[in-house]
Structure 1
Amino acid sequence: MRIPRNTYRLQITASFDLAAAEGVLDYLTELGADWLYLSPLLAAEEGSDHGYDVVDHSRIDPVRGGAEALTRLAAAATDAGRGILVDIVPNHMGVATPHRNQWWWNLLRNGLASRYAEAFDVDWAANADRLLLPVLGDDADGRSELDRLEVVGDELRYYDNRFPLAPGTADDGADARVVHARQHYELVNWRRADAQLNYRRFFSVNTLAGLRVEVPWVFDESHREILRWVQDGLVQGLRVDHPDGLADPGGYLDRLREATDGAYVLVEKILEGDEALPTSWATAGTTGYDALADFDRLLVDPAGQGALDALEARLQAEAAAPTGDALPASWPDLVHARKRVIADNTLQTEVVRLARLVPGTDASPDAPIVDALAELLACFPVYRSYLPVGIDELRHAAAEAARHRPDLVGAIDGLLPLLGDPAHPLAVRFQQTSGMVMAKGVEDTAYYRYSRLTSLNEVGADPGEFAVDAAEFHRRQQRRQATFPAAMTALSTHDTKRSEDVRARISVIAEIPAEWESTLRILRAAAPLGDAPFENLLWQAIVGSWPATPDRLIAYAEKAAREAGTSTTWTDRNEEFETAMRGLVTACFDDPAVTQTLAAFVDRVRGAGWSNALSNKLVQLTAPGVPDVYQGSELWDTSLVDPDNRRPVDYDLRRGYLARVRDGWLPPVDETGAAKLLVTTRALRLRRDQPERFFRHSPVAAFGAAADHVIAFDRGGAVTIATRLPLGLAAAGGWGDTTVVLADRPVIDLLTNELHPGGTLSVAALLRRYPVALLVPADSADSADTADTADTADTTRTTDPEGSDHAR
């Protein structure tokens, strides 16, 4: 297996296709990237910027460049010594436009007689052997929308929607209603999906239909083109999207390993708490959400938890007062409550389908067995089990479900033998369903309702964990190095709800919670919404991403508010609230009372946020694992949730900064973000060109008054020094007598090219210019090459233990 030393993620779209990726290959090589990490390439729905809605597995999307463009990119990458990792989507296909997906089209045309009836995960018996399609709009009587159907040739049309006709069903000239009744599908109102849908979706997305890749021919035909890329040497690795949706993730990975001859494979897997990835899986590890959570929490001040907990409780009480609703007592209680709502509503169709797999029971929506299954799903502590691995999580869920609902103990006890049997259909589907409930209940709802410190509300993270100290951080990195050293690490992804630098600034709030509370009070009074927790969440996003444009902030606010579902929703929008919310954003730009308060707080946290961002970047790029840089994040990245985080990247700007850095520029820490590019390129080049310096994770001891503000570790020849809690450090008077102890030999800081004597070193001297340092032995023959050149004004510098410096 060839393993990347680092990766750089590129979103391949119609506006940034494979040819454009080839066009930035020289820049990425110069930056220090080892492999290119590409978003899905197969033909997707028209206009898709993400590519996770594949409609044709047999070809690369022409709008993304097509097969020839991948061949050219692969050849250029090989010539440059680079590899390519590609995101693949085995769990589902896009079915929004049936005529673009020939598998789905054939299924609709021929029903159970279709070859593809085995490919899609459909419960035919649940709707009299007809596939229920929730595409009709609202009407007065629930039936009149069918009058808008038209028969056009061999198709049934509904506005711009096209559906195939079963052979012979329109030959007698019958009207469209009658012809529709003869089809293998039934068009129904879109609101019926959550309770009555009879095909498995990706979470609650009706236009993404689940595939059964556990069927051998389905795997073969959906992977033939992907495997060609690997077999022909075009691609060296694969990233598997959402393996938790598969019937047998472990079996799938075994099949993929055999088909790729053991290529590098990562899985998009979210781990909860101390949950471990199954060691039996044929994978190098996860895509790094778990690592992201650790990096963020290292930079959060634990002393701020009490004050922010109290603020959150007051805001939640204020929100609940008008309705008299009971408050969730804690984050776990909120999670349970929201998961139960999802199981009872958005994913009710999946829960009822589970109940139909229990022999001899009533599977109506209000039946006790459905209630018991929903409670078990709400209590499940991780995304899913992989039986027999994870049987303890099932038992934990059963105990918790019995505690919440003693009246369901009998039903729960009766379900456990079936749910614990890896071969039973109920157990298989329950494992596929539990992750859906977790994702919708937590990531897509609770994360938008819990406003304590929103930098912690990130994919793969547990907002209930507030901070980790240096000792715990080192323990987790040592475990990563010992278990999955080739797993990916990340700070920003296409799925993150707030980019790395937004979170780095928001985390500063934990250092000054009283100042934040007083600022929030002023902002809420100036632009009230009447939804206290959501206002806290929204103002944190504005502070974290400032300066941002009104359209970006409005788009984020609308999505966040509808996901939270407290004052408006996707399906029942509160226009009065949303108008006020848009007014809040506008006030940031034209209301002096708001603009002055906002500017003052942003000024208070900006520098500390930059310090956090540089520390976070260097720690991630040098810690155990394979670090990924999300496109454009080598400069400040203030993106919010998608599609904001998929905006075009200005590579010309980055080329210019990189050229200056290569010529010796040591940029200041300022609005340009060039200092972050300096940190990124030096760390990436070291990881790529001197991998022998990265084989362990050993904490480096710090001593002195500010020792708690140091995070330092030795990877086996490369030493990282970074700053924690910068406002607290400044309030205490700076580094003072704080030191770190290294081997007694000279070292060079690759960021500044400054020479240090080794041994006991002053942190003030090491971090004189930047809040981070990257040290290697000065006697290394090629350290100077890795560091490029130093500041042209003083090309080689040495620093004494007291922090004064002089040219040598």
Structure 2
Amino acid sequence: MTVPRSTLRLQLHKDFTLDDAAALVDYFASLGVSHAYVSPITTATAGSTHGYDVVDYTRINPELGGEDALRRFVEKLRAHDMGLIVDIVPNHMGVGGSENAWWQDILEWGRHAAHARFFDVDWHSPDPALRGKVLAPFLGASYGDELQGGKIKLEYRADEGRFVIAYYSHAFPVCPVDYPAVFQEAPELAQRFAGLTTQPADQPRAADARTALITIAGTEGGQAAIEAILAAHSSDTPAGRDRLHRLLERQHYRLAWWRTAADEVNWRRFFDVSTLGGVRVERPEVFEASHALIFRLFTEGLIDGVRVDHVDGLAEPREYCQRLRARLEELSAARPEALRHGNGHTYFVVEKILGRGEPLRRDWQVDGTTGYDFMNDVGALLHDPAGAEPLAALWAELTGKSANFADEALSARRKILAENLAAELDRVTRALHRIARDAQNTRDFTFTSIRRVVAELVVHFPVYRIYPLGSVRSAEDERFFSQALDAACATLPRADHVVLDQVAQWLGGKLPDEAPQEARVERGRDRAAERSRDRDRNHAQAQGQAQAGQNAQQPSSGSQRRAAQTLFSQLTSPVAAKAVEDTACYRYGRLISRNEVGADPGEFALSVADFHAGNKERFAAFPHAMLCTATHDHKRGEDVRARIAALSEIPDEWAATLRQWSTLNTPLRRGANGGLAETGDINDWAPGPAAEAMLYQTLVGCWPLTLAPDDEAGVHELAERVAQWQLKALREAKLRTSWFAPDEAYEQACKDFLFDIVSPQRRNGFLQELSAFVARLGPLGAVNSFQQTLLRLTAPGVPDLYQGTELWDFSLVDPDNRRPVDFDLRRKWLAEIEEKGAPSEQIGNWRDGRVKLAVVRRALALRKHCESLFAQGEYIPLEVTGEQAGHVIAYARHAGSAFAVVVATRLAAPLLDADADLPLVAAERWGDTAIVLPEALHSRALFDWLSPNAPKAEGAQLLVRDALGAMPVALLVEEGVPRP
């Protein structure tokens, strides 16, 4: 199997195992997908629902059934001629608890541990208390409180002959070097550990001593000695606490309150998650150790491709991808003969967030991204640009906040950098400060001044990161770096500009010994002349200083400079993710359908021409990239976004509705500390205007089309789900509450408000209005959903379905989007659909989602029937003419003599009646609107793969009323392509 025709993403965990997936393979095959695409299968933290907290790269997770279950799953897939793609996590591992043997090794032996260089630890912290130690920020309260409260204990593991410091589910090993001090009550035991050091040569002796300890401790006298030792370290007495504390102070870790991590952590985390530690996969031995299982499974033919998680967290994404590509192609020759690819190519995609205009680098040698860029494009396409300004003005009026998302994002970036990632900022600054100290003429650049300029560069960085090659920024890097540099220059005081320019050079600019002095990259063309002159003067001064100190700077021109660039890039990525996706997107609510992973809410809409351009670029550069519209990380389901996007088409009606609902529910507003609000002050009531406005959008977006307002059980179930979303949204916004410092009274007041407005007694008030509004908006949302679904299934790339989204996807942010999927219902409906024929047969009961399932199944069938057409066929945007041309998108796929024409209704509000019962524009409303077909299809009869329609082109023109008479979308093929 080579490039997938299509994939179906499955989230595996203990309640949905590999055997559970195997039982569904026949359904997946009937649906038409060619590859199952599963979340990480390596061993994760016990109970993990996502698998990204890997604790053991060398074993398939026993909670998923282990390797035997994987083999059973693959056997089922092969029987249906299907393949398997697995998600791998090279960037980080789970380090909470005590399940990660590699992490436990460095806790036990420190910098001399066998795995010390597997994790990205700064063993040379400027903090004396952390020098040679790892910060362990896993305590629920301050160290002193937990120690005195008896929560931190010395325990003996009889089966391992090992002492550990126990704290709830955590177990921190005691270094064997300290066992003699522990054994003061049992000197005969201490002798076996006497003279040990942390040096690697001594570590096997420690293992032998522990083996002997297991035997001795099993005797009656040994048990008594162990009990005496534990009693001597008990926190029940001041002497015991003091002794336990002194023992802890000698370890290679420092136990600390979890809140210290943001300021003091001395190892790289995944974003700001202190239970996920960064892995140094750039080291060859780490690469091999962390990929050994995947390479074996690939060689044996159990997996066919990989999806790499969070590639931007790696030190060198380019080099990592190239290395992984080389190893996979090398191993492909050893795969079972039936699975070998003729060209040795293995499918390999990366999770990468791309900014608008940012290309995925071709020299990475990957097949593309996992599809966030497509999700952003098609999501923006669903929005009416005419709604942007009135909805932004409405948001500003209701909330008193800025109408511009960029303002909210900048504020969030500053907050995240200052409060969540301060330790990481310090680490970048230290790396640059060391470089400065190595040169005579930059040695007076202070740590604080460097920190200021780095902070400004980071908060203004327009993309996740850059990728210098040979320590020098490429032209593509420079385009984005210059934006941050110009913004930082405009923000910083003039006195810092010389430091800023020097830092910019260290972060990938060409140093004087690498290029002529006059060959500087031109930046800030649009700045005022005076600022430009000041900038040039400062830049020249910095270059002069660097030239004068060139000899002194030689040691830092290589490894130190690369290290600083890596640390900088590993900071800009999490700041962007945490500030934009996980903070600003929960603060700004013009339309939350644009507040999605990989999207810029400041970019409201995308034109058809720009959408076509994006598809053509993807086809030229990465024709096999994934195309997704829902993921395990999405903030709201694909059909929730599609329905909310429809509000852009009716901004005035939505504004009136929003004001009306807010007025209607004003008596139910809660005071910040509970009870009904007594004033209208923005800070005196819950949830507050911004959270209230986003709550109404959420209810509109996720309200099931089949839910009646008098269905008390159904409404309550929905309210519970929305409450879960609301809690996460409020905490992620980090305004009046947060994960770091939750305001539980405010959160409860917000929940009470939600349950009040949807309580049974409101069924003739707000609930009735909400249900009626959704009924009005539902057909518009469905038109958007049909468009989004068909474009994903036919555009250049590999369409990816997220589990369960073959029916309407009204899910919210995780864990809601990871709820159990009713595959039995889907299997049943799919069988009925296959009997009834075309998807158009299901349009009458569109509210239950069967018609979407039918479209997915039929489009995937065509992809299988005309595989080369969609895998290699060129993408041809088609011109639409006539009075309603703005409400249609059309394109063709073409390979050889084969064509497929895709037509979809868009922005349908002016064409649908207010009381429309179907998401279908009446044929007469299209008037003379027509699609201009390629010459090869002139005057040809076409057959719709989704309906019985057989529209015939009149010369070059295909009338839309003929193409879209039965469905809001059409997938047309020429005569001769048999219908399923």
Please give the TM-score of this superposition, normalised by the length of structure 1: 0.93
Match of residue 351 from structure 2: 268
Match of residue 701 from structure 1: 879
Q: What displacement does 1:140 show?
A: 10
C-alpha spacing 1:150/1:659, structure 2 compared with 1 (3 Å):
same
Confirm or deny that 1:376 pairs with 2:451.
no
Confirm or deny that 1:3 pairs with 2:3.
yes
Instruction: Give distance in 1, aligned partners of 2:500 and 2:93.
Output: 34
1:549-588 correspondence to structure 2 within 5 Å:
549-586=718-755, 587-588=757-758
Match of residue 371 from structure 2: 288
Q: What displacement does 1:762 show?
A: 2.9
Q: Which has the larger radius of gyration?
A: 2
Q: Aligned AA for 2:891?
A: F
| Contact 2:634-2:813 within 8 A present in 1 as well | yes
1:492-528 CA-to-partner distances (Å, cap 9, x unmatched) read: 0001101100000000110111221122223223044
How many aligned residue pairs are there? 773
Confirm or deny that 1:749 pairs with 2:931.
no
Instruction: Give distance in 1, aligned partners of 2:653 and 2:753.
Output: 21
Instruction: Give distance in 2, aligned partners of 1:644 and 1:454.
Output: 17
Aligned with 1:671: secondary structure?
Answer: helix
Confirm or deny that 1:672 pairs with 2:842.
no
1:54-103 CA-to-partner distances (Å, cap 9, x unmatched) read: 000111001112111212222222222111111000000001112x1100
- Larger displacement relative to structure 2 (484-493 or 338-347): 338-347
Which structure dedicates a bigger proportion of its chain to helix?
2
- Larger displacement relative to structure 2 (699-708 or 752-761): 752-761
Q: Aligned AA for 2:688?
A: D
Q: What displacement does 1:772 show?
A: 0.7
Instruction: Give distance in 2, aligned partners of 1:657 and 1:430.
Output: 51
Structure 1: 5+ residue stretches without partners: 318-326, 789-808
Aligned with 2:820: secondary structure?
Answer: coil
Match of residue 627 from structure 2: 489
C-alpha spacing 1:549/1:329, structure 2 compared with 1 (3 Å):
closer
Confirm or deny that 1:155 pairs with 2:164.
yes
C-alpha spacing 1:43/1:741, structure 2 compared with 1 (3 Å):
same
Match of residue 804 from structure 1: none
Confirm or deny that 1:500 pairs with 2:587.
no
1:388-409 CA-to-partner distances (Å, cap 9, x unmatched) read: 3313322321111111223432
Structure 2: 5+ residue stretches without partners: 157-162, 185-228, 234-242, 330-344, 438-442, 510-557, 670-685, 705-716, 914-920
Q: What displacement does 1:364 show?
A: 13
| Contact 2:58-2:293 within 8 A present in 1 as well | yes
Match of residue 627 from structure 1: 799
Aligned mate of 2:809, from 619, 622, 637: 637
Instruction: Give distance in 2, aligned partners of 1:213 and 1:145.
Output: 40
| Contact 1:9-1:36 within 8 A present in 2 as well | yes
| Contact 1:44-1:52 within 8 A present in 2 as well | yes
1:685-720 CA-to-partner distances (Å, cap 9, x unmatched) read: 111231232211112222221111011110111111
Q: What displacement does 1:573 show?
A: 2.0
Aligned mate of 1:210, from 262, 270, 278: 278
Confirm or deny that 1:524 pairs with 2:662.
yes
Q: What displacement does 1:177 show?
A: 1.4
1:431-460 CA-to-partner distances (Å, cap 9, x unmatched) read: 111101100110000111110011111111
| Contact 1:748-1:776 within 8 A present in 2 as well | yes
| Contact 2:142-2:256 within 8 A present in 1 as well | no
Match of residue 135 from structure 2: 132
| Contact 2:806-2:856 within 8 A present in 1 as well | yes
Instruction: Give distance in 2, aligned partners of 1:29 and 1:517.
Output: 45
- Larger displacement relative to structure 2 (308-317 or 630-639): 308-317
| Contact 1:355-1:363 within 8 A present in 2 as well | no
Match of residue 194 from structure 2: none
1:525-551 CA-to-partner distances (Å, cap 9, x unmatched) read: 304435222222221111101136122
Match of residue 576 from structure 2: 438
Instruction: Give distance in 1, aligned partners of 2:726 and 2:71.
Output: 41
Aligned mate of 2:700, from 540, 543, 560: 543
Match of residue 309 from structure 1: 392
1:314-352 CA-to-partner distances (Å, cap 9, x unmatched) read: 1341xxxxxxxxx55622232222112211110000000
| Contact 1:243-1:249 within 8 A present in 2 as well | yes
Match of residue 86 from structure 1: 86
Q: Aligned AA for 1:178?
A: R
| Contact 1:352-1:365 within 8 A present in 2 as well | no
Aligned mate of 1:171, from 166, 183, 195: 183
| Contact 1:546-1:638 within 8 A present in 2 as well | yes
Q: What displacement does 1:259 show?
A: 1.2
Instruction: Give distance in 2, aligned partners of 1:740 and 1:145.
Output: 77
Instruction: Give distance in 2, aligned partners of 1:264 and 1:380.
Output: 31
Instruction: Give distance in 2, aligned partners of 1:140 and 1:242.
Output: 33
Q: What displacement does 1:418 show?
A: 1.3
C-alpha spacing 1:145/1:469, structure 2 compared with 1 (3 Å):
farther
C-alpha spacing 1:227/1:556, structure 2 compared with 1 (3 Å):
same
Instruction: Give distance in 1, aligned partners of 2:784 and 2:759.
Output: 27
Match of residue 118 from structure 1: 117
Confirm or deny that 1:663 pairs with 2:835.
yes
1:329-384 CA-to-partner distances (Å, cap 9, x unmatched) read: 62223222211221111000000011111225699998222122111110111100
Instruction: Give distance in 1, aligned partners of 2:646 and 2:585.
Output: 19
Compute the RMSD of aligned alpha carbons. Answer: 2.0
Instruction: Give distance in 1, aligned partners of 2:603 and 2:820.
Output: 34
Instruction: Give distance in 1, aligned partners of 2:582 and 2:8.
Output: 27
Instruction: Give distance in 2, aligned partners of 1:349 and 1:451.
Output: 31
Confirm or deny that 1:723 pairs with 2:722.
no
1:6-55 CA-to-partner distances (Å, cap 9, x unmatched) read: 11111111111111111111111111101111110000001101000000
Q: What displacement does 1:571 show?
A: 2.2
C-alpha spacing 1:448/1:178, structure 2 compared with 1 (3 Å):
same
Instruction: Give distance in 1, aligned partners of 2:348 and 2:589.
Output: 36
Q: What displacement does 1:143 show?
A: 7.2
Aligned with 2:848: secondary structure?
Answer: coil
Instruction: Give distance in 2, aligned partners of 1:63 and 1:504.
Output: 36
- Larger displacement relative to structure 2 (553-562 or 593-602): 593-602
1:200-227 CA-to-partner distances (Å, cap 9, x unmatched) read: 0000000000000011111101100011
Q: Aligned AA for 1:693?
A: L
C-alpha spacing 1:141/1:115, structure 2 compared with 1 (3 Å):
closer
Q: Aligned AA for 1:754?
A: N
Please give the TM-score of this superposition, normalised by the length of structure 2: 0.77
Confirm or deny that 1:259 pairs with 2:342.
no
Q: Aligned AA for 1:400?
A: A
Instruction: Give distance in 1, aligned partners of 2:445 and 2:297.
Output: 47
Sequence identity, in percent?
A: 41
Instruction: Give distance in 1, aligned partners of 2:118 and 2:87.
Output: 21
Q: Aligned AA for 2:457?
A: L
Q: Aligned AA for 2:619?
A: Q
Confirm or deny that 1:226 pairs with 2:294.
yes
C-alpha spacing 1:329/1:656, structure 2 compared with 1 (3 Å):
closer
C-alpha spacing 1:184/1:146, structure 2 compared with 1 (3 Å):
farther
Instruction: Give distance in 2, aligned partners of 1:156 and 1:758.
Output: 78
Match of residue 961 from structure 2: 764
| Contact 1:142-1:189 within 8 A present in 2 as well | no
| Contact 2:395-2:403 within 8 A present in 1 as well | no
Instruction: Give distance in 1, aligned partners of 2:741 and 2:444.
Output: 29
Instruction: Give distance in 2, aligned partners of 1:777 and 1:299.
Output: 28
Instruction: Give distance in 2, aligned partners of 1:329 and 1:539.
Output: 18
Instruction: Give distance in 2, aligned partners of 1:538 and 1:371.
Output: 38
